[in-house]
Structures are given as structure tokens and as C-alpha cells.
Structure 1
Amino acid sequence: MKRGLKFMLMISLALLFTMPAAGCSSAPASSGKSGQFTGTAEGYAGEVSVTLTLENNKLTAAEATGIKETEAVGGRALKQMPEMMVAANSVEVDTVSGATFTSKAVLAAAAAALESSGMELKAQEVVVEQKMTPGTYQGEAYGKWKEGSSEGYRFGSPQIISPTRVSVTVDESSILSVTVESCDDTPGFIEEPIRRLPEKIVENQSIAVDIVTGATLTSQAILSAASSALEQAGADLKGFQTKEPRSNEEETYDCDVVVVGAGGSGTTAALTLQQAGLDVVVIEKTAKVGGESVVSTGVLAVGSKYMESISQDPASLASKEIIFEEMMEYNHWTADSLIISSYLDHNGETFDWLQTMWNQTDDPGLKTASRSGLNHGKGSHKYEVLYEDFFIPDGGTLLLETTGKQLLTDENGKVTGVLAEKADGTQVTVNAKDVVLATGGFAGSPELLDQYFHTSFYLYGMSTDCGDGMLMAQAAGAGEPQNLDPFLAEFCSNEFVDFYAGFMKFINYTGLLQLNKSGVRFYNEEYGASDPLAKGAAALYTNREAYVIFTEQDMAKLEENRGKALLTQEVIDTIPSYRDRAMVPFTTIRDEMQAAIDAGQGWKADTLEDLGKAVGIWDMDTYMNTIKTYLSYVENKNDEEFNKRPEMLYSLDEGPYYCVRIIPAIDSTLGAVPINRNCQVLRNDKSVIEGLYAVGQDASGFWGNFYYQTENTNAVTQSWALVSGRMAGEHIAVKQGKEVDWCIWGEE
């Protein structure tokens, strides 16, 4: 678009999905009814409402609300889209990049409001004459980490989070330059938005440019901060809403193997295949490599020669045989024993192989042995160097921001490649002899979560893991998921309140009283501290939600003296596997509690009876009987129901009282596509789909429970991701007539 005193913006009427006829500009205008009309639709986290003010075939005002939509993402859609509707005299406007669910809800709600009026609108050109005051302006917005959060410190962010700061220089009518001055979001995710978005804003003269896939919150923070700076300059933001042009280009690649996903499992598969002498293409949906593996810290590495070399007591390390028995007993033989056995056979050698490569880079790789595991720390760097120092220099092809859409098959059902699409719309065809699916499960798809688990979760993992691999596999004939489970996080959350950035997510670690939706206790709350994943999170998932009850005194102790304040150190020392995370300083708990109350997810009352009435969902007789029974346990220091230790039967003698609703949180899903011990994808009749493999969180059969937490296992999820990629790569290489050489530790 040319710079000038006027920006002409024609609103596109070609939407990605069909809108009701009342909003179509091709229909003749009709009078209908004037006045205010409201429509609603389901957004990302709740109901979105749009109110239109209509007068004589003109849309004079529009307002969108959705109190449960995320401020950083959905908030931009709620603000910008109504403004564009008024300017265009149409309810058919472009969606906001990165806010798909909220955008679609705004469009649907606006269409419903318009239909109820009986009025038909005729779209018009949006003409904006910018009259900005030349100069440089600064805007601020929070992205991944919110004000007061210290959670980002675990992932490499500063301990005290500041908002993302963006400088924008303008003349009277144009954006001249954009600079991201500072950003405290997670290293490894912020680099691409910082590099690309300023250039895009200037090039397109728009704050409606596409976000960087996989870095939604940081991208939205940069765009929000830039919008704020432009408003300070006197800009009419409706004139800076041009969508990026879509590409009509097509690209074709021919290779031996295409790997869909560049997370941990996709990376090891790609490197194994390439080092065997095969031509490999990797397509990755986001703008970075590593996937969910970048936030994992450790791996089970049984049989690793490297681990033996750094262990203080190598003789104490458990054998493959011992761990096999432990894992199979833990899952009660519901997992595929052949897959478990193959995983353990490849386990230690995989990490020796990886460490041999890391030793040739500036990344330390694996370090610190404990039990049968190794720790490699968080961060993207260890995966970036594997691509930068090995995969790409050795001839591999890496296509970022490229999403797999469909598997190619021949007349016999053999998979022969992948159809994909780049973020700019470029259509990609990759022809290959074999395909490896490594797309990370479907935790980012609310529809699939509801379909398979019938409940809500808060997602701590990657929102881009939307089940692409599973859906493509099923379309090619793959069987239904087996041993399908959510990969539960140890802490709790709420789908309407952001507990992740603060400390309320640790409230389940404290052992405070919890009730289910029926108003009764459902487990020994002690497990929230002693076994928060295998027992605590599992119990919460089974009941779908819980209501935590505590007193003002409990709140004050948590706020002033950390989680430890509720228990003595002597008691903590007697609780097996008590998590240090319960020792966090609950410095923001009052603000978080108020946020929960404001969102209708928290309650406060002077008496326990009034608290039950305030929550409003319980049969009061059932609730009061639960409270009466629990108070007797507290008084007698004896939990007759669940045998909770007396020290955790906290007093409820004195109010005020608080209650907060919590739900399970997940990092990903476990077991989407059925496989055999070679990671080949299976049909329902257990026959193999030729040419198709699944690894990591996409693969089923390895899991028979939410997690493996035995005497000699730890960090199994990340270990499975990396090892399964190696397993698939080895089988494909041999099948295609190549040899796979396992390294001997210390050789390069």
C-alpha cells in the first residue's frame, strides 16, 4: 500500500467460513428495525457478546465483550473487530491473527445480532485520513508473563517481569520504523517475533500482520504495544488494519523421508535418518525447533555409558530388566510390552549418541545423573545446534511455519508424502517413501479435548499442538487412539483465570480441604504435596474440578511465610517426595484470589455456611454434612475417610473463609495414534499402514497410565520422545537399505 494522506482499505467479503445471509453485502439494503441488538456465540473460554447499534441501514456503533477471553489474545479481537465493523458498515470483517476462536465468536455473535434486527447492511470502503503528530512513541503490553509473575524465571526470563516495550516512529501519515526495546518473555520463543514483526508492521503499514506461529502471546504483546504507541501519536487504528497478502506459490520436494514436527521426537528421527544416508525434509508448524521438549529438564537414560561415566555410584544404577518390570507393573500390563522393551533397548544408546553430537557444539547437552536419569536443562538452544551444526549443513531441509494438512497415499493405501501449507499460504507438496508424524498430540484443540475427555483443561503446553498428526493418520486409515490420556501437569489451574503466571497454581500442593462439584471430599489432599502428579492430579482429573477451602489465617501464612508456613519442616521431612515447589512465596495470592472472585471462580464469606451459599452449586445439606464431618476429623486429629495425616487437618475455626475453583492442567496428550514396536502406525485390525510412522506424544501404546513414577524411573515423557524418534528412524533406515551405526560412548 502506498504511503499518503489517505489510506484506502477495502474490507474483504470472502471469509474462510460461511456467514449468515443477513450479513452479505450483495443483498439489497432493507430498513429492518433500528436500535440496539445483541448476539452471543461461544468463544475460546466462554460466551462472547456483540451489541450492534443500527439506524437507517447504518451500523453506527458496535461493542464486543467476553470477560473470560484472554486479555492478551482475545482482547485484541474484542477491541479491533467492532471498530472495523462500524468503519465498513458490515459485520463481515477480517479475523485477528492469533485470536482465531475469539474472532470467529465475534463474527458469529455480530451476525446473530444483525439477523435479529432484520436489517441488511451494504458494505462500504473504509477511508481513513491519518493526521499523526510526527515523532517517536513508546507502547507497553504484557505477553507470556504478566505483572508480578516470577514463573518465567524458571524458563530463563528475569525474576521481575517488565512489560514488552515497543518504540514506533511516525510522520503525519505513515509508520516509519518499529523497534522492540525490551521483552521479558521466554528466551527461545521471543527472538522471531522481535526480529520479524517490526519489519512486517512497517512493510504492510499495518498492526494486523500475521503473528509468529508458536509465539502467540509474545507476538500479541508486540502488536498491542505498537498499537498503543500509534494511538499516542494520534493514529486512527482503522487505517492500519491491512491483512498480509496471501501467497499463491506452490513448492514441491522429493525426498526419502519427511518428518512432520521438529520437536524432540521429530529431531531424533530426522538426525537418525540423515546420518544413515537418507534425504530428509522436516516440516515444522511453528517458527522454532524443539517443540514442547524445550521446557523439559530430564530424561530416563537407562544403560547409558555416558551416565555411568558421570555417576557417583555406577553400580547403583538400575538395569533395563528392573525398569521393565517396574514400568509394566506400574501400568498393570495395559501398555504394549513390546514397545516398552524396544524403548529400553534403545534408551541409553540414544542419549550417548545425542551427547556425542552435543560435545561437538557449544551446548553442554546432558548433565547431572540421578537414579537412572540425566538432566539437560530447559531451553531451545540444544535443539537449535542440532539443526544448525548437523542437520542443515549435512543437506537436510527444514521448513518452519509449515503445517501438515494431508497425507498422500497410493492406490494400495501406502503413504507417499504430505501436503502442507506455509503461514503465508504457500502450498507445499513433499513426496517421500516414508512419513514420520511427530506433531505433539492434541492438547491445543479444545474440540478434540472435549471429544475424547469430555472436560476442560488449562493448557500449560503448546497451543499449536492441535492434533494435526492424529487427524491426518486417521484420514489415512489409522485406528482409534489406545491408552489415550491427558498428560497431566502437577499443579492446578483455572480456565477463566490466569493462575499460571502466579502462585495460585500451587494451591493443591498445600493439602488444604478440597470438595468436588457434589460438595463432598474425594481424596486425601495430602497427595497434592506428596504425589501431585500420579495421585493428586489424577484425582482432580477424575472429578473434573475441585473447590479449595481455606481461611484468612491460611492466606496470611502462605503470603508471609511461603507454603512451608502450613507445615513444620519436621513434618515435611516425613512426607515422601514432598515437592519443593510447595515452598514458593505466595506473594501475589491476594491479588490472584481477587481476580478469581471477579471472574466468578472464587468466593469469600464470614462463615462456612455462607461460603457454601456463595458458591451456589452445592446441595447445602450435603455440603454442611461434609463440613461437619471434616471438622470432627480436625478436632480428633483423625481422618477416618481418607487417612490424611493429622498435621494437614488444618483448623477451620475462624473466618473469613475463601473458596477457589481449580481444574486439571495439562502439558499435552498421551497416545493419539496406535503403533507397533517399530513405531509403524496401525489400523484397528493391527495391520500396518505402509510408509507411516508416529513418535512422541503422537504415538499410542507406550502409556498405560498418566505417568511412570516408580522407584527407578523419572523424566520418562521426554525420554520417550527422544528415544521413539530414534526407534522410528532406525527402522525406516534399515527398511530403505541403510545401516544405522550406534556410537560407542566417547567416539565421534
Structure 2
Amino acid sequence: MKKMETEIVVIAAGPAGLSAAVEAAENGADVIVLEKASTVGGAANMGMGPLGIGTKYQKQQMIDITVEKAFNMFMEYTHYNVDARLVKRYFEQSAETIEWLEGMGVEFEGAFRYFPKSEATWHIVKTDQGIGPRAASFLNKALYNRARELGVEFLLETPAKKIIMKEGKVAGVLATNKDGEEIEISCKAAIICTGGAGANKELIKEETGFEHGKDLFSFAIPGLLGDGMKMAWEVGAAKTQVRIEMAACIEGMDNLPQSIPNVLMQPNLLVNKHGKRIMNEEEMQNATYLSNVVAHQKDKVCFSIVDSSIVKYYIRNGVDNVSLVRTNPDVSDFYDGVKMAEKNQDSGLISADTIEELAMKAGIDVDALVETVELYNDYCDSVDEEFFKDRRFLRPIRKAPYYCAKIRAGGYGTVGGIKINENCEVIDNDFEPIPGLYSAGADSCNIYDDSYMFLLPGNSMGYAINTGRIAGISAVEYVED
């Protein structure tokens, strides 16, 4: 067995772990980072940027968002079921964190909304390829370079296996390298940042009731199996509810042109398997709200329905709502996508020449859907008496062919599992800190309660980076005490 020694061990090198390592090293600590994968950044390499509140970008863009406003929004949204002290500390630090990242060479495009009804808190990382997914890989690279500059040692392809405790305190971390050799690292503090359990189908089903690939279509980044949570629970950490960070998606659309999901995620007619409407479809732009609705329906599925006249309207005028993930309102290749789906036999997209045929193919109650469409068309000629949808989005379903897509619960992986306080100290069932043990990022993220706060976009990465920094600060204070 190989033996090593340091002051602080950071377990995993996503944005939380990288931020914790940099913050601790900047404060003078010796740090070793253990990472299961062969590269750093984790799931966040697919992201675009963190939340910031009260930043210079928001002030320059005349965006009216303050810590007080965001905090009150957040706490009202969660009905005060979450740790107000942790939320407040995270939000207060978030603007300075943007500047902290800029000091490492990270540049930002500005502050943006994710969708029209959200606030402009999402600080998109500037790249050489414009705004789009994977922008945050540039941020992760900057954090990694800064950590190495500060002397942080990275052991890649070396997963942590166990937290070593002596006399009730963290005394080390046991790991295994790619050659199977065990490594025991003596340390005074450990920071768990392993990114949740998004690829652990058994744990997800046990904790949430969802079956991945059947009624849940969330990201499943290989290697995210809940290792950090299990290590923390083994040494007495209190357990919090493990949830999915919800964001609805269309089943089976991954390989189709963006025009398909862009058309079918508009505020179209939305029904369940009983053929009934279930929400004001304007709110479909918030993928968390939509996921919540879907999760409460039979077989956890809903159907977005359009006719040919609606498709032609979108092709001619562009879609009603765009987001920073689907920024292009142009859906002129929609019919090319339909042909591709038919060729691929994608089950998520269904077309038919009659409403009755559409219902039968989709598994929707035929008579109920016919009645719903008739009633909905009447609303389009007057007002929506059922869910009060804005007239701008009321378009009748009358012209064949008809199209519908299966809307499923989706998301970005799991959040929660390890209970922490506002200092990112892992606490036990008596709410007492476990000496030397800290956690940041998805493993500890229990600030949303049952619904991801999409109205303040950038929360996933913002929480990870800021709690990473808080954990790094707290760990240094502990080891120096």
C-alpha cells in the first residue's frame, strides 16, 4: 500500500472540487485531489456557467436583481423547507465568485435568462465558439490550471474508497489507483464533491421511485454512482433526501434536429394518457414545472400535440419561446426531422392523419382526446376557460397531419444526500459537525427541496462553485486551528 500525507484531500474534481482545491490552496493549505475519471470537470463540462447575483454584468445590463430579491424568491419558492443561512451565504458570495473566476482568466458573455419568465442570473462562460453547451469546460480548465499553479496534486483515475476516522475525526482517505494499488492519504480534512448518483439506477429508483430509461430520462454521467454519499453515511453523516434535479425532456429526441424538440416544447396543447389537459401550457417553458406535472400523471408521461397549421406557423414566423439551450427560433427543417424519426423508428414522436389515429398510436384515451381537442378549439376562438392560457398561444388543432411527442421527466442528475450546515461542514443526526469532514456540490445540495429553482438559472454550477469555495475556506480554518 502506498502512503501519502497532506492537509486536505478533495474527493472529485468537478467544479465543486476544483473550487474547493483552489480556495484551500490560495489560503495556504497543502491539497491532494482524487478523481475517478481520467479528466477533470465532470458533468459540468457540458454546462454553460454559474449563477451570480448583484454582479457588474447585471448592473451594466440594468438587470434588477439583488441578493435580497433573489433570497426572498428562493425561500418563498421552497416554502422555507431549506437552509436559509446556506442560501444567503451562497447568494452573497456569488458576485465575488464571478470576479474570483475572472482573476483566473475566465471570461463571461454577460448575465442571461434561461427562458423568458426566469431571471437573468445565468453567467455564460465566453468561449471561441459562441454561446452554447460545454462552455463551462473553459471554466473548469481555468480552475484546474490555477490549482496546479498553486501546487495542488491531482491523482486522476484514482477513486476514493473510504474516509478514515480516528478518535472521531477525519484522519485520512483510502483510494485505489488505475493499477489497483491502494493508497492511504493521511490528512486532517476531507471535502466530498463526487457529484451525486446520476448513473446509479438502483439508488435513483430506491430514493425517488423513478426508473431510469423507462419513466426518467436524466443525464447519467458514467461514474456518478453516489460514492461520496456512501462514504459520508458510513462515518455518521446525516442523510438528506436524494432527489432528481428535474428538467423535462422529449423521449427519444437526442439524435434528431433541434427543430423537433423546439416545436414540441412550445406552449402547445398538452394532455395526459386520459386525454385531459393538465396545466397552463405557457408554463412549459419552465422545464422543472413541466417535469413536476409529468411526474404526477399515469405512467409519468404527457403528450404535446400540434397540427400542420401550427407547424407551418412556427416555420414561417419562428417559435414563440426560445431558451439558451435552444436559441434558434428557426425550425424550417422540422419535416426533415420527422422523416428521420420515422426512419429511426423513434417512439417518442408520433404522427397521424386523424386525432383518433394519433390517440391510438400514442396510447391516449381516444374519445377523451377527441373531446379535449374540440373543447380546446372552442377556447382558441374565445378564451381558455380551463387553465387561462394567454390568447397569443391558443392555436386550434384542425389540420392533418397531426404530431405529438412524449414528454418525460428528465434532469441533470441527483442532488442531496449529505447534510451540511452553512459552512459546508458535514453534520450528524444531532446536527453536530463531523470534525474534518466537508461536502460541496450535488452531494450536499438540498436547497431546492422538491423542485429545482429554475427561475434563478445557473443554480447547479453556482451552488457547486460557491459551496466548493466555502468548504475550502472552512477546511483551512479547521486544519489551522
Question: What TM-score results when the alignment is normalised by the length of structure 2?
Answer: 0.84
- Counterparts of 1:549 and 1:676 in 2: how far apart (Å)? 45
| Identity among equivalent pairs (%) | 27
How much has 1:586 moved relative to structure 2?
A: 5.4
Which of 331, 338, 341 is the aligned partner of 1:585? 331
1:649 maps to 2:394: yes
1:716 maps to 2:473: no
Question: Which residue of 2 is the match for residue 416 of structure 1?
Answer: 171
Question: Which residue of 1 is the match for residue 132 of structure 2?
Answer: none
- Counterparts of 1:372 and 1:492 in 2: how far apart (Å)? 23
Cα deviation per residue 1:273-324 (whole Å; 9 max; x = unaligned)?
11222211101122222223333333333355xx27x94378x764433332
Q: 2:196·2:415 contact (CA, 8 Å) conserved in 1?
A: yes
Q: 1:481·1:700 contact (CA, 8 Å) conserved in 2?
A: no
Question: Which residue of 2 is the match for residue 381 of structure 1?
Answer: 138
How much has 1:478 moved relative to structure 2?
A: 2.2
- Counterparts of 1:332 and 1:592 in 2: how far apart (Å)? 45
Question: For 1:581, what is the secondary structure of its paired residue?
Answer: coil
Which of 255, 258, 263 is the aligned partner of 2:6? 255
Question: Which residue of 2 is the match for residue 486 of structure 1?
Answer: 244
- Counterparts of 2:343 and 2:187 in 1: how far apart (Å)? 52
Question: Which residue of 1 is the match for residue 188 of structure 2?
Answer: 433
Let me know the Cα RMSD of the aligned residues: 3.1
How much has 1:722 moved relative to structure 2?
A: 0.9
Which of 31, 35, 49 is the aligned partner of 1:298? 49
Question: Which residue of 2 is the match for residue 536 of structure 1?
Answer: 290
How many residues get paired?
A: 458
1:545 maps to 2:301: yes
| 1:308-323 matches, cutoff 5 A | 311-312=59-60, 318-323=65-70
Taking a change above 3 Å as real, the CA distance of residues 326 and 653 of structure 1, as seen in their structure-2 partners, is closer
Taking a change above 3 Å as real, the CA distance of residues 347 and 526 of structure 1, as seen in their structure-2 partners, is closer
How much has 1:437 moved relative to structure 2?
A: 0.9
Question: Which residue of 2 is the match for residue 726 of structure 1?
Answer: 469
Question: Which residue of 2 is the match for residue 629 of structure 1?
Answer: 375
Structure 2 gaps of 5+ residues are 113-119, 127-134
- Counterparts of 1:421 and 1:732 in 2: how far apart (Å)? 24
| 1:352-363 matches, cutoff 5 A | 352-358=99-105
Q: 1:696·1:720 contact (CA, 8 Å) conserved in 2?
A: yes
| 1:125-144 matches, cutoff 5 A | none
Q: 1:506·1:581 contact (CA, 8 Å) conserved in 2?
A: no
How much has 1:461 moved relative to structure 2?
A: 6.2
Q: 2:425·2:434 contact (CA, 8 Å) conserved in 1?
A: yes
Q: 2:172·2:188 contact (CA, 8 Å) conserved in 1?
A: yes
The letter of the residue matching 1:297 is M
How much has 1:477 moved relative to structure 2?
A: 2.3
Question: Which residue of 2 is the match for residue 289 of structure 1?
Answer: 40
Which of 214, 217, 226 is the aligned partner of 1:467? 226
The letter of the residue matching 2:207 is Y
Taking a change above 3 Å as real, the CA distance of residues 288 and 586 of structure 1, as seen in their structure-2 partners, is farther
Question: For 1:641, what is the secondary structure of its paired residue?
Answer: coil
Question: For 2:294, what is the secondary structure of its paired residue?
Answer: helix
Cα deviation per residue 1:367-399 (whole Å; 9 max; x = unaligned)?
5356566432314233223333x3224322101
- Counterparts of 1:497 and 1:714 in 2: how far apart (Å)? 23
How much has 1:642 moved relative to structure 2?
A: 0.9
Taking a change above 3 Å as real, the CA distance of residues 516 and 679 of structure 1, as seen in their structure-2 partners, is same
Larger RCO (alpha carbons 8 Å, 6+ apart): 2
Question: For 1:347, what is the secondary structure of its paired residue?
Answer: helix
Question: Which residue of 1 is the match for residue 131 of structure 2?
Answer: none
The letter of the residue matching 1:728 is A
How much has 1:548 moved relative to structure 2?
A: 2.2
Q: 1:509·1:532 contact (CA, 8 Å) conserved in 2?
A: no
Question: What TM-score results when the alignment is normalised by the length of structure 1?
Answer: 0.56
Q: 1:437·1:693 contact (CA, 8 Å) conserved in 2?
A: yes
Question: For 1:327, what is the secondary structure of its paired residue?
Answer: helix
Question: For 1:736, what is the secondary structure of its paired residue?
Answer: helix
Taking a change above 3 Å as real, the CA distance of residues 664 and 372 of structure 1, as seen in their structure-2 partners, is closer
Q: 1:493·1:499 contact (CA, 8 Å) conserved in 2?
A: no
The letter of the residue matching 1:675 is I
The letter of the residue matching 2:293 is A
How much has 1:539 moved relative to structure 2?
A: 2.5
Q: 1:504·1:586 contact (CA, 8 Å) conserved in 2?
A: no
Taking a change above 3 Å as real, the CA distance of residues 399 and 542 of structure 1, as seen in their structure-2 partners, is farther
Structure 1 gaps of 5+ residues are 1-249, 359-363, 739-748
- Counterparts of 2:188 and 2:89 in 1: how far apart (Å)? 24
Q: 1:336·1:702 contact (CA, 8 Å) conserved in 2?
A: yes
Question: Which residue of 2 is the match for residue 407 of structure 1?
Answer: 163
Larger Rg, first or second structure (1 or 2): 1
Q: 2:419·2:444 contact (CA, 8 Å) conserved in 1?
A: yes
Cα deviation per residue 1:161-214 (whole Å; 9 max; x = unaligned)?
xxxxxxxxxxxxxxxxxxxxxxxxxxxxxxxxxxxxxxxxxxxxxxxxxxxxxx
| 1:551-700 matches, cutoff 5 A | 551-556=307-312, 558=314, 560-561=315-316, 563-564=318-319, 581=327, 583-585=329-331, 587=333, 588-594=336-342, 598-616=345-363, 618-634=364-380, 636-700=381-445
| 1:2-13 matches, cutoff 5 A | none
Question: For 1:721, what is the secondary structure of its paired residue?
Answer: helix
Q: 2:377·2:395 contact (CA, 8 Å) conserved in 1?
A: no
Taking a change above 3 Å as real, the CA distance of residues 288 and 603 of structure 1, as seen in their structure-2 partners, is same
